[in-house]
Amino acid sequence: MIRSHDDLRSLYRAMLALGAAGLLILVLGLAVFLRFAPLGQRTGLAARVTGVYAYDPGRRTITGPPRARFPRTQPFAARVRWAALPGGMAVGATWYDSLQEPAGGVGPAPAARLSAGDGLVPERIPPGLHGNLPGTYTLLVLRYADGRPVEILARTTVVVERGP
């Protein structure tokens, strides 16, 4: 039997209480995760990004062959084959810059309406800047339900080069 004149029980109980509070927070986090990423949302559909091209924002056209790298000052746009998706499906596409901030996109709208256009998803130079941020840009093609994105249908990346 340990002779003890110390009140370590209160410390032990305080730690257990903190652990229980922590567990509650993590369970709450799991609930949030499942609320916004519920199981059974996958349709198995996939969109097709045919390429990423240099883009002329004034004329709203692409030029040259598809590329994987762009200079900072060169705007670019992806071309998506929206026609391959069910026409009534709500879809959209968003570019994310190297800081994972949204950097332009289209939709959400029915796939049929987007396929009636040019199918281009241009990125947008961040306001106040002269060029794109260097690093990896990611395009996500998303399916929407109840106004919220619920499934990734396609993903592609390009690199914006460092430089003037």
Partner 1 sequence: MIEQAAYKRRWRPTRYWLAALIGGALFGVLVASSALSIALDSVPHRASLFGLPAIGLMAVATVFGLRAFRDRKPGVRGRDLMVAAVLFGLGICSWLLVLDVFTFTQAAGPGAAALSALACLPTTAFGLLVVRRLDRNEKEPWRLVLVAAVWGAIVATSLVIWAEALWDEQLGARLVPGPALDASSAFSAGVFEELAKGVAVVLLYLAMRDEFDDVVDGIVYGAAVGFGYNFMESITYMTHLYAVYRPESASLALASAAGQWYQRQVLGLFLGHATYTALVGAGVGVARQLPRLPQRLLAIASGFVVAIAAHFAWDAWAQFFPVSPTSPLAVAEIHLRILVMVGPFTAALLLILAMGLRVEGAALTRQLELEAEAGSGAVLPAEVPVLISPWRRLGVRVAAMARGGPVAYSRLARLQTAQIHLAMERWHRERQETDTPPAAEEALRRQVLELRAATAL
For residue 43, state whether it binds partner 1 (rule: CB under 8 A).
no
How would you classify the pairing of strands 148-160 and 69-70?
parallel
H or E stretch covering 92: strand 90-96
Site string for partner 1, 63-102 (x = CB under 8 A): ---------x---------------------x-x-xxx--
Residue 147 binds to partner 1 (criterion: CB under 8 A) = no
Cβ atoms 141, 148 nearer than 8 A: no
Phi, psi of 56 (to 5 degrees): -105, 105
- Residue given tokens 């598809």 in the structure block: 66
Q: Which of 103, 129, 139, 159 binds partner 1 (CB under 8 A)?
A: 129
In terms of CB distance, is 8 or 65 closer to partner 1? 8
Torsion over CA: 144, 145, 148, 152 (sign):
negative
Pick the piece of the chain touching partner 1 (CB under 8 A) from 5-13, 45-53, 79-87, 116-124. Answer: 5-13
**Piece of the chain touching partner 1 by CB under 8 A; list 49-57, 61-69, 111-119, 151-159:** 151-159
Residue 156 CA to residue 135 CA, distance in Å, equals: 14
Q: Residue 79's beta-bridge partner residues?
A: 51, 120
CA–CA distance, 151 with 45 (Å, rounded to integer): 9
Interacting span for partner 1 (CB under 8 A) from 19-27, 48-56, 80-88, 114-122: 19-27
Q: Residue numbers of the site for partner 1 (CB under 8 A)? A: 2-8, 10-12, 14-16, 18-26, 29-30, 32-33, 35-37, 72, 94, 96, 98-100, 129-131, 133-135, 140, 142, 148-152, 155, 162-164
